[in-house]
Amino acid sequence: MIAASPQTSRGFRRVMRCDLDCFFAAVEILDHPALAGKPVVVGGDPDRRGVVSTANYTARQYGVHSAMSAAVARRLCPHAVFLRPRFERYRELSARVMAILDDYFITRERVSIDEAYGELPPGLPGCRRALDIAREIKARVQQETGLVISIGVAGNKSLSKLASDCSKPDGCLIIKPGEELAFLHPLPVGRLLGVGPHTRERLERLGLTTIGQLAQASLPDLQAHFGKQGHWLWQLANAEDNRPVVSEHGPPKSISREQTYERDIADIERAAAQIQRLAERVAADASDEQVLGQTVHIKVKWSDFHQITRQCALPRATNAPEDIAQAALRLLHTTIAPLLNASNDSNASAAIRLLGVGLSNITDPRHAQDKGYLRNLRTPHSIVQLLLFPDLPEAYPSASDDPNLPSASANN
């Protein structure tokens, strides 16, 4: 059997994955205590092709889940309270939670608004127990934000994710070195990272229903059926995952906003008004992130679901709403209007179902100066760890000085 977290003189790896419970819904209940105990669904309007962003655990008992149509959610749970998302508030709380995590992690990788991986100091004799760190984080998140966070700790990223997912809600699951395979192997293959319904079905047709069966399958056979993915899945099933936790020191690659319309748009004036509105929201997001972009793109999904994107370069990087709107409107008038008119002439039913505006080719003067790993090492807890483990920087090379890891600039 393969040991996932070998004990070395530098200690074993401890990766923590933290994920807030039913995040958007939890924030709504926090801010509106009268909702406590009720089923709560956050997302788009059930009467207007809205989609569920999330639901609290009470609503989930009725089968409501993320990405489901809000109309279906309402049929499943008619007495649920349906709320529109308040992204500003979610971003604010997310930032507060991430700041708490920074007090504990050597490196923190934010993977979504409510989820992050952290590399803890290595497991060495006398070091602080992962369970104690996890309990302290849970208590601080609860006290300082009122939210519940679930935590998994294991020797690598995919195991720590599985551990935190399995522990939900309000969970904390530590997989100790040597316990990886006992935890992993009884689970169904569908729990493995990257195994969606299609791959799961194919694995099951080969008689591989548990992760343990996948781990014992012949590697050449798996590669013959699934190519590179077969090898990766076999590694995961054997608790092998060497992916580093990479702190995000750079700006986002792109910023975009899109909207699906209740009634399809058939006239260019209405489309232009929507493009203007979306462009202003993109500009506001870019301004919040303190970044500039030099490429503007628009996206159109027609009523037959066919989708096109068009883009143009700006003379200089910007986050000014008027620059972004002007470029997006020019794209609309030059590339989309003729198609819209053509469809009207031929009496075709093609009209616009969705519009989007995006900004890419992003630059961030702030981040160009910022060494993310130094920011992490500055945190008080990390300084304590450095005193306890003076060889820590060597044991945990930063993203910028380990040749096996992407450099700060290559990473973004």
- The answer to whether 151 contacts Mg ion (rule: CB under 5 A) is no
Contacts of 62 (CB under 8 A, 6+ apart): 39, 76, 77, 80
| Catalytic residue, candidates 115, 119, 180, 240 | 115
Of 16, 17, 21, 354, the residue at the interface with ligand DCP (CB under 6 A) is 21
- The answer to whether 180 contacts ligand DCP (rule: CB under 6 A) is no
Of 19, 102, 240, 285, the residue at the interface with Mg ion (CB under 5 A) is 19
- The answer to whether 109 contacts ligand DCP (rule: CB under 6 A) is no
Residue 241 partner contact from Mg ion, ligand DCP, none using kind-dependent CB cut-offs of 5 to 8 Å: none
Residue 195 or 351: the one with the smaller Cβ distance to ligand DCP is: 195
Residue 114 or 240: the one with the smaller Cβ distance to ligand DCP is: 114
User: Nearest-CA neighbor of 158 among 131, 187, 182, 192?
Assistant: 192
Site string for Mg ion, 89-118 (x = CB under 5 A): -------------------------x----
HEC string of 42-77?
EECCCCCCCEEEEECHHHHCCCCCCCCEHHHHHHHC
- The answer to whether 53 contacts ligand DCP (rule: CB under 6 A) is yes
Of 114, 180, 323, 364, the residue at the interface with ligand DCP (CB under 6 A) is 114
Can 115 be counted among the known catalytic residues? Answer: yes
Report how far apart, in Å, the C-alpha atoms of 255 and of each of 49, 68, 89, 291, 340 are.
23, 24, 19, 10, 26
Give the integer Cα–Cα distance in Å for 26 and 42: 10
Residue 323 partner contact from Mg ion, ligand DCP, none using kind-dependent CB cut-offs of 5 to 8 Å: none
DSSP string for 126-179? TPPPHHHHHHHHHHHHHHHHS--EEEEEESSHHHHHHHHHHH-SS-EEE--TT-
CB of 78 to Mg ion, least distance (A): 25
Helix or strand (DSSP H, E) at 190: none
Of 5, 17, 18, 19, the residue at the interface with ligand DCP (CB under 6 A) is 19
Check if the beta carbon of residue 392 is closer than 8 Å to that of residue 106.
Answer: yes
CB of 171 to Mg ion, least distance (A): 11
Supply the residues annotated as catalytic: 115
